[in-house]
C-alpha cells in the first residue's frame, strides 16, 4: 500500500493543549506513513506524489480512545440506573460471562469493531474479558479494521460470579502468559496490554503474578482508578495499609514505573474522579496517563473528574468513551461532554477550577491521548499520519463561518456519525 501521498483541504490540529492551528486550503504531506508538514504551496520535492484534493472539507487528526470495553458494546445505551459496583454485578458481569461462547463473541465483537472502524477513532485502548480465546478473536477482528489498538485480556480472580472469575491467581497468570505468547508479534497494528480489571477484582497474589508478567514482556498496563466513592471504600477495606488507591498498583510496579528495575511502565488509568493529592502527585511523578471518561462518570453517578486541575498540573491526559458506562463510542461526544462537565465542576464544586475550553478538549482527544501511542495525534513533522476528513456541508447555516467555527460546530453536532468521508491510520487509507 502506498503510504506516500498528499491530501488537500482545511487542516486543523492541536499544537499544544491551548492552541489549535488552522491552515486553509493547504497541503498535508504523508511520506512513509508520517506527516512531513503542512504547506500553503506544495514544495517541488512532493509534486510527483499522488494528490487527494478534498476541496472545502475539514481535515483533522484521528481521535484517540484511551478507555473502552469491547464486550460491553452489546448493551450500550441501556442499564443506566445503578451506580458502579451494582452496575457491574447486575449488568456487566452477566454480559461478559457470555464470551465463553466464541460464536457469541464473534457476533458481538464484529459489531463493535465495525462501529469503531466507521467512527472518528483511529487508536484505542480496549478491554476484552478474562476469556483468552475470545480476546484473541477480538484482536484478529481489530487487526482487520486497520486501526491501531492495545487489547487486554482481563485479569480477575475475585469479586465476580464463579463462571466469570478465574479459578486462581496462578490460573489467571498461566492464561495470560499463554495469551501474550500467542499474540506477541502476530499483528502489525494490534498489541497486548496487561489488564488487571481493578483492585477489587484482583487478589494480592494475582497482582504479584502480573508484576512478573509485566517485567517479562515489558508491555503496557491499563486499569481503573478512583472512579466512585463506593469503589474507593472497598479498596481501602481490601488494602488497609495503602495510603491511597493508586498506591495499591504502585506496590506491584504497575503504576507508571518499576523501581525494582528502574524502568518506565507505560500505564493508563481510567477515571481518576476522586484521586487524592498524593495520588495525583504520584501519577505525575510516574507519568501515568489519565483516561477521562465524562459520559460514564455521569451515567453511573460517579462524579466529575477535576480535569482543569490535571491539565494545569501537566498530567498526561486523554479521553475515553468507556462504553458501556458511556453510551457511545464517539470521541466527538467525549469532547463535548468533557467541556460540559468541567462547567458543572466549576459552578458547583470548585470555582477556582475554570472550565476547559474547546481547544483543550480537542487536544485531549488527539495529541494528549495520542502520546500513549508515541508521536500520534498531530500533523507536526514526523508524527504518525492519522487523519479523518469531515464533510460538514450537511450542516447548513446562513452566516459566514471560519474554519474553527466549522470544526467546533461539527464536533458538537456529532458529525462523526454521518460526515466522515475518508480515514487514514498510520498512512493507510481505511476508507
Q: In this structure, how many other beta carbons lie within 10 angstroms of the beta carbon of residue 217?
A: 15
pLDDT for the residue numbered 263: 87
- Nearest-angstrom CA–CA distance, 217 and 411: 39
- Nearest-angstrom CA–CA distance, 300 and 304: 11
pLDDT for the residue numbered 113: 98
- DSSP 3-state helix, strand, coil percentages of the chain (rounded to 5)? 40, 25, 35
Going by C-alpha positions, the residue among 198, 154, 199, 158 that lies closest to residue 175 is: 154
Helix ranges (DSSP H) in 300-357:
307-312, 331-348
Grid coordinates given for 31: 511520506
Residue extents of the structural domains in the chain: 5-61+377-429, 63-373
Q: In this structure, how many other beta carbons lie within 10 angstroms of the beta carbon of residue 216?
A: 10
- Nearest-angstrom CA–CA distance, 321 and 340: 15
Which pLDDT tens digit goes with each residue over 235-272? 999 999 999 999 999 999 999 987 777 789 999 999 99
Determine the 3-state secondary structure of 258 from DSSP. Answer: strand
Which pLDDT tens digit goes with each residue over 349-371? 999 999 999 999 999 999 999 99
CATH 3.20.20.140 is the classification of domain 63-373? yes
Q: Is the pLDDT of residue 185 over 80?
A: yes
Grid coordinates given for 391: 464533510
- Nearest-angstrom CA–CA distance, 272 and 293: 9
CATH architecture of 5-61+377-429: Roll (2.30)
Longest distance between any two alpha carbons in the chain, whole Å? 66
**pLDDT band at 224; cut points 50, 70, 90:** very high
Residues 343-378 as b or e (16 or more Cβ within 10 Å = b)? eebbeeeeeebebbebbbbbbbbbbbbbbbbeebbb
pTM of the model: 0.97
**pLDDT band at 221; cut points 50, 70, 90:** very high
Amino acid at each position: 500500500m502506498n503510504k506516500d501521498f498528499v491530501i488537500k483541504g482545511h487542516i486543523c490540529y492541536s499544537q499544544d493543549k491551548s492552541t489549535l492551528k488552522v491552515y486553509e486550503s493547504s497541503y498535508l504531506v504523508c511520506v512513509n506513513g508520517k506527516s512531513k508538514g503542512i504547506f500553503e504551496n506544495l514544495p517541488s520535492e512532493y509534486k510527483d506524489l499522488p494528490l487527494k484534493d478534498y476541496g472545502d472539507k475539514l481535515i483533522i487528526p484521528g481521535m484517540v480512545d484511551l478507555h473502552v470495553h469491547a464486550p460491553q458494546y452489546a448493551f450500550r445505551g441501556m442499564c443506566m440506573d445503578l451506580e458502579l459496583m451494582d452496575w457491574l454485578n447486575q449488568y456487566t458481569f452477566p454480559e461478559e460471562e457470555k464470551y465463553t461462547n466464541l460464536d457469541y463473541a464473534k457476533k458481538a465483537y464484529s459489531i463493535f469493531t465495525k462501529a469503531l472502524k466507521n467512527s472518528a477513532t483511529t487508536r484505542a485502548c480496549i478491554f476484552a474479558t478474562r476469556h483468552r480465546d475470545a480476546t484473541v478473536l477480538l484482536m484478529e477482528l481489530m487487526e482487520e479494521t486497520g486501526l491501531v489498538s492495545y487489547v487486554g485480556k482481563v485479569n480477575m480472580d475475585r469479586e465476580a460470579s464463579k463462571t466469570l472469575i478465574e479459578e486462581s491467581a496462578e490460573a489467571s497468570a498461566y492464561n495470560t502468559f499463554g495469551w501474550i505468547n500467542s499474540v506477541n508479534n502476530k499483528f502489525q497494528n494490534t498489541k497486548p496490554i496487561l489488564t488487571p480489571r481493578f483492585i477489587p477484582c484482583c487478589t494480592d497474589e494475582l497482582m504479584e503474578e502480573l508484576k512478573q508478567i509485566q517485567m517479562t514482556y515489558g508491555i503496557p498496563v491499563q486499569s481503573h482508578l478512583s472512579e466512585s466513592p463506593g469503589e474507593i471504600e472497598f479498596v481501602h477495606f481490601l488494602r488497609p495499609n495503602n495510603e491511597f488507591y493508586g498506591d495499591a498498583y504502585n506496590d506491584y510496579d504497575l503504576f507508571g514505573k518499576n523501581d525494582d528495575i528502574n524502568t518506565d511502565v507505560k500505564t493508563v488509568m481510567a477515571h481518576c474522579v476522586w484521586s487524592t493529592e498524593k495520588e495525583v502527585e504520584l501519577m505525575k511523578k510516574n507519568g501515568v496517563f489519565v483516561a477521562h471518561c465524562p459520559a460514564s462518570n455521569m451515567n453511573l453517578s460517579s462524579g466529575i473528574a477535576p480535569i482543569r486541575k490535571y491539565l494545569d498540573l501537566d498530567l498526561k491526559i486523554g479521553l475515553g468513551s468507556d462504553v458501556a458506562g458511556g453510551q457511545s463510542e464517539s470521541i466527538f461526544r467525549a469532547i463535548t461532554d468533557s467541556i460540559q462537565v468541567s462547567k458543572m465542576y466549576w459552578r458547583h464544586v470548585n470555582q477556582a477550577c475554570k472550565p476547559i475550553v474547546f481547544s483543550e478538549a480537542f487536544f485531549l482527544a488527539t495529541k494528549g491521548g495520542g502520546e500513549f501511542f508515541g508521536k500520534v495525534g498531530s500533523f507536526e513533522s514526523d508524527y504518525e499520519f492519522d487523519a479523518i476528513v469531515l464533510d460538514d456541508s450537511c450542516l447548513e447555516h446562513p452566516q459566514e463561518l471560519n474554519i474553527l467555527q466549522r470544526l467546533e460546530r461539527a464536533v458538537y453536532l456529532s458529525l462523526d456519525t454521518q460526515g466522515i468521508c475518508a480515514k487514514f491510520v498510520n498512512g493507510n487509507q481505511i476508507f
